[in-house]
Amino acid sequence: REDLKGLYSALLVPFNEDGSVNEEGLRKIIRHNIDKMKIDGLYVGGSSGENFLLGKEEKKQIFEIAKDEAKDQIKLIAQVGSSNIYEVIELGKFVTELGYDAISAVTPFYYRFNADEVYNYYKEITENVENDLIIYSIPLLTGVDMGIKDFERLFKLPRIVGVKYTSADFYLLERLRKAFKEQLIFSGFDEMLVPAVANNVDGAIGSTYNVNGIRSREIFDAVKSNDLQKALEIQNLTNDFISAVLNNGLYQTLKYILQREVNSDKQFYSRKPMAQITEAQKEEAENIYQKFIK
Ligand code: NAY
Protein backbone atom coordinates (compact mmCIF):
# COMPACT_ATOMS: atom_id res chain seq x y z
CA ARG A 1 0.00 0.00 0.00
CA GLU A 2 2.81 2.40 0.94
CA ASP A 3 4.39 1.78 -2.47
CA LEU A 4 1.44 3.30 -4.26
CA LYS A 5 2.03 6.80 -2.90
CA GLY A 6 3.11 9.50 -5.32
CA LEU A 7 2.31 11.70 -8.27
CA TYR A 8 0.44 10.07 -11.17
CA SER A 9 -0.51 11.34 -14.58
CA ALA A 10 -4.03 10.46 -15.64
CA LEU A 11 -2.91 9.15 -19.00
CA LEU A 12 -4.22 10.98 -22.07
CA VAL A 13 -4.88 8.81 -25.10
CA PRO A 14 -4.36 10.02 -28.68
CA PHE A 15 -6.76 8.67 -31.29
CA ASN A 16 -6.51 8.49 -35.06
CA GLU A 17 -8.96 10.35 -37.25
CA ASP A 18 -11.02 7.15 -37.65
CA GLY A 19 -11.37 6.83 -33.85
CA SER A 20 -8.87 3.98 -33.37
CA VAL A 21 -6.10 4.21 -30.77
CA ASN A 22 -2.90 5.88 -32.04
CA GLU A 23 -0.50 3.34 -30.56
CA GLU A 24 2.72 5.07 -31.55
CA GLY A 25 1.46 8.35 -30.10
CA LEU A 26 0.33 6.64 -26.91
CA ARG A 27 3.75 5.06 -26.42
CA LYS A 28 5.37 8.45 -26.89
CA ILE A 29 3.09 10.04 -24.29
CA ILE A 30 3.96 7.28 -21.82
CA ARG A 31 7.69 7.78 -22.47
CA HIS A 32 7.28 11.54 -22.07
CA ASN A 33 5.67 10.99 -18.68
CA ILE A 34 8.42 8.66 -17.52
CA ASP A 35 11.49 10.32 -19.03
CA LYS A 36 10.62 14.03 -18.94
CA MET A 37 7.89 14.48 -16.33
CA LYS A 38 9.59 12.02 -13.94
CA ILE A 39 6.19 10.92 -12.80
CA ASP A 40 5.81 8.17 -10.16
CA GLY A 41 3.02 6.40 -11.96
CA LEU A 42 0.23 6.39 -14.51
CA TYR A 43 -3.50 6.17 -13.95
CA VAL A 44 -4.68 4.38 -17.07
CA GLY A 45 -8.31 4.38 -18.18
CA GLY A 46 -9.51 7.49 -16.37
CA SER A 47 -11.67 10.36 -17.54
CA SER A 48 -8.57 11.86 -19.13
CA GLY A 49 -8.13 8.71 -21.22
CA GLU A 50 -11.65 9.24 -22.61
CA ASN A 51 -12.27 5.77 -21.21
CA PHE A 52 -16.04 6.05 -20.93
CA LEU A 53 -16.29 6.49 -24.70
CA LEU A 54 -14.53 3.19 -25.42
CA GLY A 55 -15.40 -0.45 -25.88
CA LYS A 56 -14.00 -3.29 -23.78
CA GLU A 57 -11.46 -4.46 -26.36
CA GLU A 58 -10.12 -0.94 -26.81
CA LYS A 59 -9.73 -0.55 -23.06
CA LYS A 60 -7.75 -3.80 -23.01
CA GLN A 61 -5.58 -2.61 -25.87
CA ILE A 62 -4.69 0.59 -23.98
CA PHE A 63 -3.96 -1.32 -20.75
CA GLU A 64 -1.65 -3.65 -22.70
CA ILE A 65 0.21 -0.89 -24.49
CA ALA A 66 0.74 1.05 -21.26
CA LYS A 67 2.18 -1.97 -19.45
CA ASP A 68 4.31 -2.97 -22.40
CA GLU A 69 5.80 0.52 -22.71
CA ALA A 70 6.22 1.32 -19.02
CA LYS A 71 7.27 -2.19 -17.94
CA ASP A 72 8.17 -1.90 -14.23
CA GLN A 73 9.70 1.57 -14.50
CA ILE A 74 6.78 3.29 -12.77
CA LYS A 75 3.63 2.30 -10.90
CA LEU A 76 0.50 1.55 -12.89
CA ILE A 77 -3.08 1.84 -11.72
CA ALA A 78 -5.85 0.70 -14.08
CA GLN A 79 -9.23 2.38 -13.87
CA VAL A 80 -11.58 -0.47 -14.82
CA GLY A 81 -14.86 0.85 -13.42
CA SER A 82 -18.08 1.48 -15.32
CA SER A 83 -21.72 0.63 -14.76
CA ASN A 84 -21.27 -2.85 -16.32
CA ILE A 85 -20.06 -4.91 -13.39
CA TYR A 86 -19.22 -8.01 -15.44
CA GLU A 87 -16.97 -5.93 -17.66
CA VAL A 88 -15.42 -4.32 -14.56
CA ILE A 89 -14.51 -7.73 -13.15
CA GLU A 90 -13.22 -9.03 -16.47
CA LEU A 91 -11.02 -5.96 -16.95
CA GLY A 92 -9.88 -6.13 -13.34
CA LYS A 93 -8.69 -9.71 -13.81
CA PHE A 94 -7.12 -8.80 -17.14
CA VAL A 95 -4.96 -5.97 -15.77
CA THR A 96 -4.06 -7.96 -12.67
CA GLU A 97 -2.70 -10.69 -14.98
CA LEU A 98 -0.77 -8.01 -16.86
CA GLY A 99 0.91 -6.97 -13.61
CA TYR A 100 -0.83 -3.69 -12.75
CA ASP A 101 -0.03 -2.54 -9.21
CA ALA A 102 -3.64 -1.76 -8.36
CA ILE A 103 -7.05 -1.31 -9.89
CA SER A 104 -9.36 1.61 -9.47
CA ALA A 105 -13.08 1.75 -10.13
CA VAL A 106 -15.34 4.74 -10.59
CA THR A 107 -18.59 4.70 -8.64
CA PRO A 108 -21.34 3.21 -10.84
CA PHE A 109 -23.21 6.03 -12.53
CA TYR A 110 -26.12 7.08 -14.76
CA TYR A 111 -28.87 5.40 -12.70
CA ARG A 112 -29.10 7.01 -9.33
CA PHE A 113 -27.67 4.13 -7.33
CA ASN A 114 -28.18 4.25 -3.57
CA ALA A 115 -25.41 3.73 -1.01
CA ASP A 116 -26.13 -0.02 -0.69
CA GLU A 117 -25.92 -0.50 -4.42
CA VAL A 118 -22.61 1.36 -4.57
CA TYR A 119 -21.33 -0.71 -1.65
CA ASN A 120 -22.38 -3.98 -3.28
CA TYR A 121 -20.69 -2.98 -6.51
CA TYR A 122 -17.33 -2.59 -4.73
CA LYS A 123 -17.88 -5.69 -2.62
CA GLU A 124 -18.44 -7.77 -5.71
CA ILE A 125 -15.36 -6.38 -7.46
CA THR A 126 -13.12 -6.99 -4.45
CA GLU A 127 -14.44 -10.54 -4.08
CA ASN A 128 -13.61 -11.34 -7.68
CA VAL A 129 -10.41 -9.47 -8.48
CA GLU A 130 -7.26 -10.27 -6.52
CA ASN A 131 -5.71 -6.83 -6.46
CA ASP A 132 -5.77 -3.67 -4.35
CA LEU A 133 -8.60 -1.34 -5.24
CA ILE A 134 -8.77 2.45 -5.14
CA ILE A 135 -12.25 3.95 -5.16
CA TYR A 136 -12.65 6.65 -7.81
CA SER A 137 -14.96 9.34 -6.48
CA ILE A 138 -15.77 12.15 -8.91
CA PRO A 139 -19.21 13.49 -7.95
CA LEU A 140 -18.99 16.30 -10.50
CA LEU A 141 -19.15 13.83 -13.40
CA THR A 142 -20.99 10.87 -11.85
CA GLY A 143 -23.50 12.61 -9.59
CA VAL A 144 -22.57 10.06 -6.89
CA ASP A 145 -21.90 11.92 -3.65
CA MET A 146 -20.49 9.86 -0.79
CA GLY A 147 -20.33 10.88 2.84
CA ILE A 148 -17.99 9.79 5.60
CA LYS A 149 -20.27 6.89 6.62
CA ASP A 150 -20.25 5.52 3.07
CA PHE A 151 -16.46 5.67 2.94
CA GLU A 152 -16.19 4.07 6.35
CA ARG A 153 -18.20 1.05 5.23
CA LEU A 154 -16.27 0.72 1.97
CA PHE A 155 -12.87 1.04 3.63
CA LYS A 156 -13.69 -2.07 5.70
CA LEU A 157 -13.66 -4.18 2.55
CA PRO A 158 -10.37 -6.10 2.66
CA ARG A 159 -8.92 -5.10 -0.71
CA ILE A 160 -9.90 -1.46 -0.69
CA VAL A 161 -6.77 0.58 -0.05
CA GLY A 162 -7.83 4.14 -0.76
CA VAL A 163 -9.68 6.70 -2.80
CA LYS A 164 -8.99 8.99 -5.70
CA TYR A 165 -10.77 12.02 -4.39
CA THR A 166 -11.78 14.38 -7.17
CA SER A 167 -13.85 16.89 -5.26
CA ALA A 168 -13.47 20.43 -3.96
CA ASP A 169 -15.05 19.51 -0.61
CA PHE A 170 -12.06 20.08 1.67
CA TYR A 171 -14.11 19.67 4.80
CA LEU A 172 -14.88 16.07 3.86
CA LEU A 173 -11.25 15.56 2.82
CA GLU A 174 -10.06 16.76 6.22
CA ARG A 175 -12.56 14.46 7.97
CA LEU A 176 -11.52 11.47 5.84
CA ARG A 177 -7.83 12.05 6.41
CA LYS A 178 -8.28 12.29 10.16
CA ALA A 179 -10.50 9.22 10.35
CA PHE A 180 -8.64 6.88 7.98
CA LYS A 181 -4.90 7.14 8.46
CA GLU A 182 -4.25 3.80 6.80
CA GLN A 183 -6.13 4.51 3.59
CA LEU A 184 -4.41 6.15 0.64
CA ILE A 185 -5.99 9.40 -0.46
CA PHE A 186 -5.12 10.76 -3.89
CA SER A 187 -6.07 14.29 -4.77
CA GLY A 188 -7.89 14.61 -8.10
CA PHE A 189 -7.98 18.34 -8.83
CA ASP A 190 -4.62 19.58 -10.08
CA GLU A 191 -5.58 23.22 -9.52
CA MET A 192 -6.14 22.49 -5.80
CA LEU A 193 -2.92 20.62 -5.11
CA VAL A 194 -1.71 23.00 -2.38
CA PRO A 195 -4.76 22.60 -0.09
CA ALA A 196 -4.84 18.86 -0.82
CA VAL A 197 -1.21 18.31 0.18
CA ALA A 198 -1.75 20.59 3.19
CA ASN A 199 -4.43 18.06 4.19
CA ASN A 200 -1.86 15.29 4.02
CA VAL A 201 -2.96 13.40 0.94
CA ASP A 202 -0.69 10.52 -0.07
CA GLY A 203 -0.46 11.54 -3.67
CA ALA A 204 -2.22 13.12 -6.59
CA ILE A 205 -3.60 11.91 -9.92
CA GLY A 206 -4.31 14.39 -12.67
CA SER A 207 -4.54 15.19 -16.34
CA THR A 208 -2.30 18.25 -16.41
CA TYR A 209 0.65 16.33 -14.89
CA ASN A 210 1.14 14.85 -18.38
CA VAL A 211 2.64 18.21 -19.37
CA ASN A 212 3.09 20.11 -16.08
CA GLY A 213 4.51 17.28 -13.99
CA ILE A 214 7.73 18.95 -12.92
CA ARG A 215 6.04 22.05 -11.49
CA SER A 216 3.42 19.90 -9.79
CA ARG A 217 6.13 17.89 -8.07
CA GLU A 218 7.65 21.16 -6.87
CA ILE A 219 4.29 22.19 -5.40
CA PHE A 220 3.95 18.83 -3.65
CA ASP A 221 7.45 18.96 -2.19
CA ALA A 222 7.21 22.63 -1.16
CA VAL A 223 4.04 22.04 0.89
CA LYS A 224 5.59 18.92 2.42
CA SER A 225 8.63 20.91 3.52
CA ASN A 226 6.41 23.68 4.91
CA ASP A 227 7.37 26.26 2.29
CA LEU A 228 3.83 27.49 1.68
CA GLN A 229 5.01 30.70 0.03
CA LYS A 230 6.92 28.84 -2.63
CA ALA A 231 4.13 26.28 -3.08
CA LEU A 232 1.56 29.02 -3.66
CA GLU A 233 3.77 30.85 -6.13
CA ILE A 234 4.07 27.75 -8.28
CA GLN A 235 0.38 26.92 -7.82
CA ASN A 236 -0.51 30.45 -8.99
CA LEU A 237 1.53 30.04 -12.15
CA THR A 238 0.20 26.51 -12.63
CA ASN A 239 -3.36 27.76 -12.28
CA ASP A 240 -2.79 30.48 -14.89
CA PHE A 241 -1.87 27.56 -17.12
CA ILE A 242 -4.77 25.33 -16.04
CA SER A 243 -7.33 28.16 -16.41
CA ALA A 244 -6.10 28.85 -19.92
CA VAL A 245 -6.28 25.14 -20.77
CA LEU A 246 -9.81 24.78 -19.33
CA ASN A 247 -10.98 27.84 -21.27
CA ASN A 248 -9.61 26.44 -24.50
CA GLY A 249 -10.87 22.84 -24.10
CA LEU A 250 -9.15 20.57 -21.57
CA TYR A 251 -8.29 17.39 -23.44
CA GLN A 252 -7.92 19.01 -26.87
CA THR A 253 -5.40 21.52 -25.52
CA LEU A 254 -3.44 19.01 -23.43
CA LYS A 255 -3.22 16.66 -26.42
CA TYR A 256 -2.08 19.49 -28.68
CA ILE A 257 0.70 20.31 -26.22
CA LEU A 258 1.69 16.64 -25.95
CA GLN A 259 1.77 16.33 -29.72
CA ARG A 260 4.21 19.25 -29.80
CA GLU A 261 6.28 17.88 -26.90
CA VAL A 262 6.76 14.42 -28.41
CA ASN A 263 7.23 15.77 -31.96
CA SER A 264 4.44 13.78 -33.51
CA ASP A 265 3.57 14.77 -37.07
CA LYS A 266 0.21 13.03 -36.68
CA GLN A 267 -2.59 14.95 -34.98
CA PHE A 268 -3.72 13.56 -31.62
CA TYR A 269 -7.46 13.32 -32.19
CA SER A 270 -10.15 13.06 -29.52
CA ARG A 271 -12.71 10.31 -29.48
CA LYS A 272 -16.19 11.21 -30.72
CA PRO A 273 -18.52 12.61 -29.45
CA MET A 274 -15.70 14.80 -28.05
CA ALA A 275 -15.14 17.63 -30.49
CA GLN A 276 -11.91 17.88 -32.48
CA ILE A 277 -9.64 20.83 -31.94
CA THR A 278 -10.48 23.79 -34.22
CA GLU A 279 -7.95 26.07 -35.93
CA ALA A 280 -8.70 28.84 -33.42
CA GLN A 281 -8.18 26.44 -30.50
CA LYS A 282 -4.89 25.27 -32.04
CA GLU A 283 -3.68 28.84 -32.20
CA GLU A 284 -4.54 29.42 -28.54
CA ALA A 285 -3.06 26.04 -27.55
CA GLU A 286 0.19 27.06 -29.25
CA ASN A 287 0.19 30.31 -27.26
CA ILE A 288 -0.37 28.39 -24.03
CA TYR A 289 2.39 25.98 -24.96
CA GLN A 290 4.88 28.76 -25.69
CA LYS A 291 3.97 30.68 -22.56
CA PHE A 292 3.87 27.94 -19.94
CA ILE A 293 5.46 24.72 -21.12
CA LYS A 294 8.15 25.15 -23.74
C1 NAY B 1 -9.01 11.06 -14.56
O2 NAY B 1 -8.49 11.00 -15.67
O3 NAY B 1 -9.80 10.22 -14.20
C4 NAY B 1 -8.65 12.17 -13.68
O5 NAY B 1 -7.52 12.40 -13.46
C6 NAY B 1 -9.59 13.01 -13.00
C7 NAY B 1 -8.88 14.27 -12.52
C8 NAY B 1 -9.08 15.34 -13.54
N9 NAY B 1 -10.49 15.63 -13.51
C10 NAY B 1 -11.22 15.74 -14.63
C11 NAY B 1 -12.67 15.99 -14.42
O12 NAY B 1 -10.75 15.70 -15.74
O13 NAY B 1 -6.90 16.24 -13.46
C14 NAY B 1 -8.23 16.55 -13.21
C15 NAY B 1 -8.64 17.76 -14.04
O16 NAY B 1 -8.57 17.47 -15.40
C17 NAY B 1 -7.75 18.96 -13.74
O18 NAY B 1 -7.69 19.19 -12.38
C19 NAY B 1 -8.25 20.21 -14.47
O20 NAY B 1 -9.48 20.61 -13.93
Q: What is the pLDDT of residues 116-169, one digit of tens each?
A: 999 999 999 999 999 999 999 999 999 999 999 999 999 999 999 999 999 999
Give me ligand 1 centre to Cα 198, in Å: 19
**Whether complex ipTM tops 0.90:** yes
Task: Provide φ and ψ at 199, rounded to 5°.
Answer: -90, 15
Q: Does 58 sit in the ligand 1 pocket, CB within 6 Å? A: no
Give me ligand 1 centre to Cα 190, in Å: 7
Q: Does 45 sit in the ligand 1 pocket, CB within 6 Å? A: no
Task: Provide φ and ψ at 185, rounded to 5°.
Answer: -120, 120
Q: Does 134 sit in the ligand 1 pocket, CB within 6 Å? A: no
* Res. 1: pLDDT tops 80: no
Do 66 and 76 touch, CB atoms closer than 8 A? yes
Q: Does 81 sit in the ligand 1 pocket, CB within 6 Å? A: no
Which atom of ligand 1 is nearest the CA belonging to 209? 13
Confidence of residue 2 (pLDDT cuts 50, 70, 90): confident
Which atom of ligand 1 is nearest the CA belonging to 48? 2
Give me ligand 1 centre to Cα 52, in Å: 14
Across the chain, mean pLDDT equals: 97
Give me ligand 1 centre to Cα 188, in Å: 6
d(CA 171, CA 176): 9
State mean pLDDT over 192-204.
98
- Neighbouring CB atoms inside 10 A of 60's CB total 17
Q: What is the pLDDT of residues 49-106, one digit of tens each?
A: 999 999 999 999 999 999 999 999 999 999 999 999 999 999 999 999 999 999 999 9
- Neighbouring CB atoms inside 10 A of 121's CB total 20
Q: What is the pLDDT of residues 272-294, one digit of tens each?
A: 999 999 999 999 999 999 999 99
Known catalytic residues are 136, 164
Position 220 scores a pLDDT of 98
Strand residues in the chain grouped as ranges (E): 6-10, 41-44, 75-79, 102-106, 133-137, 160-165, 184-187, 203-206
Give me ligand 1 centre to Cα 291, in Å: 22
- Mutation choice for ligand 1 from 7, 43, 47, CB with most ligand atoms inside 8 A: 47
Which atom of ligand 1 is nearest the CA belonging to 242? 19
